[in-house]
Amino acid sequence: MSDGRRTTIDGVSVPCDHLIDGERVGGGELYAVRSPVDGSHLGDIPDGNAAVVDSAVAAARRAFPEWAALGPDGRGDILDRFAQAILDRAQDLVMVDTADNGSVRAAMLHVGTGRSAHNVKFFADLARTLEHPPIEGPVADNSVRYDPSGVAALIVPWNAPLMLGTWKIGPALAAGCAVVVKPPEWAPFSLSLLGEIATEAGLPPGVLNIVHGVGERTGAALVSHPDVDRISFTGSPDTARAIAMAAARNLTPLSFELGGKSPFIVFDDADLELAVRTAAAQFMNAGQVCLAGTRLLVQDTIADRFTDALRDATSKLVVGDPRVEGTNIGPLIHPEHFERVAGFVERALASGAKPLVGGKPSALGGSWFEPTILTGVEQSSEIVQQEVFGPVLTLQTFSTEDEVIELANGTEYGLAATLFTGDEARAERVAAQIVAGTVWINCFYVRDLAAPFGGSRRSGVGREGGIWSFDFFCDVKNVAVRRSSFTS
Ligand code: NAD
């Protein structure tokens, strides 16, 4: 088996080439990837062209029948080994992910890799027990089958490549699909290493293929490929539009998990200490979290107390080297993204917003930006309406339930909402009226893989998670048998 070109990242040897049919192969011009942590050159990645994508899709197509025929138990045995191998290599994956995208090492070690392994193990287990209750009609008995759909294209963003990659790879493979994964071009290495871990764990050649490259070339070739049966994409709404148009030509079913501008609502009957602590946690991963509650909406009766406590909690966050224990906020992924975040804040300040904390690049230099909370913002302003995807929150106040629901629903997004209140009836009322794929009440970022996940409005199309993942990755088939029609 060809090992292809390799690079060493923080002592971990990582493959740089595409993974197609179990082989590491080149194809496409090389481009350099730099670490957001120290600007070091991590390695060169091939920018896969249409021919590369073609051979990856063909490899997946060839591997599909045997993988599907293994059934949930046969696949599950291999996926269990894959999940265990992720845990065994957790340390290596964390080293690479941190260098690759700047995520805080301790958080990745304590949560990220465990969750990545769980993404594989959970869906392998669910597939083994997946069944739909029989549907008895007047003439025939209906039984529902979850047949694997074929080749799935999985497109992953840079903010959490390992976690979001396995969140697609796990259910797609458990469903019996063969996959072609497109890692993010700014942070391609942890998924590249994951491909090797999968191979070593016994995944047959061609079942999991990886094509590297920039979105507009490699990604575009993949989503417009006529032999792809499913497209699962996580990323920005603009890219989703381009993918939807490409997929339309082949009528390829798709699932989109997109951006957010989620409200974080605090009523005056809430546990204030918990609400403040959770609000300060919205800066995790330097705010590069689609689910972050970036719009703080605080009842006016507690606004001063909340604001003082949050200013205090935010000032305790450690902005620094993500490799160092104790750091809370690392750098933004890329100089280009840093400029984008800084631009949002500059324009907001120029139009009258006031920094409660932060408001400027960190004195550390590089791509670090201070955790920032802006007050004095208009609901219609860019900073309230557009996803910044950095450590930037806005704070608005409200007086009534109706008012906060209007503010909460007043953007184009609908990914998540977080709500703090001590009143159960109010929690139920408000949750029912908020447009979002997920509403957290007195908690945040609780992700049970059995629950549906996705976004409303511009935040997504479809739902994944639990059986919803199988609804998407499978061809759900109804078999209707005329009652008492068999003679043997
Ligand atoms: P992006 O849309 O720029 O890129 C995402 C992926 O799509 C990358 O792998 C990229 O190479 C690829 N791509 C780009 N153009 C393509 C094309 N024309 N065809 C096919 N693929 C293409 O997003 P990003 O900047 O990497 O990630 C940030 C965005 O992702 C934010 O909007 C964030 O909210 C969103 N996000 C959403 C979730 C969620 O679960 N809802 C999770 C994480 C990130």
457 CA from centroid of ligand 1 (Å): 17
Which atom of ligand 1 sits closest to the CA of residue 259? 34
Report pLDDT for 2: 67
Q: Whose CA is nearest to atom 13 of ligand 1?
A: 215
Q: Whose CA is nearest to atom 12 of ligand 1?
A: 215
Catalytic one of 16, 177, 185, 290: 290
CATH number of 263-441: 3.40.309.10
Q: Collapse the DSSP code of 432 into the 3-class scheme (helix H, G, I; strand E, B; otherwise coil) and give the result.
A: helix
Whether 257 is a known active-site residue: answer yes
Q: What is the pLDDT of residues 36-62, one digit of tens each?
A: 999 999 999 999 999 999 999 999 999
Question: For the chain, what are the domain ranges?
Answer: 6-258+455-478, 263-441
C-alpha–C-alpha distance, residues 278 and 273, integer Å:
9
pTM of the model: 0.97
Instruction: Write the single-letter amino acid at 264.
Output: F
Q: Whose CA is nearest to atom 23 of ligand 1?
A: 235
C-alpha–C-alpha distance, residues 474 and 454, integer Å:
18
Q: What is the torsional sign of CA 341, 293, 102, 47?
A: negative
456 CA from centroid of ligand 1 (Å): 17
Q: Which residues line ligand 1 (CB under 6 A)?
A: 155-159, 164, 182, 184-185, 214-216, 219-220, 223, 234-236, 239, 242-243, 257-260, 290, 387, 389, 415, 455, 460
Phi/psi region, residue 216 (left: phi>0; alpha: psi -120 to 50; beta: rest), is alpha
Q: What is the torsional sign of CA 342, 347, 350, 352?
A: negative
Task: Flag residues of the chain having pLDDT under 50.
Answer: none
235 CA from centroid of ligand 1 (Å): 2
Report pLDDT for 41: 98
223 CA from centroid of ligand 1 (Å): 13
Report pLDDT for 1: 57
Q: What is the CATH T-level fold of the domain 6-258+455-478, as seen in this structure?
A: Aldehyde Dehydrogenase; Chain A, domain 1 (3.40.605)
Average pLDDT taken over every residue of the chain: 97
Q: Whose CA is nearest to atom 42 of ligand 1?
A: 290
Whether 290 is a known active-site residue: answer yes
Q: Which residue has the tokens 């906020």?
A: 329
Cβ-based neighbour number of residue 253 at 10 Å: 18
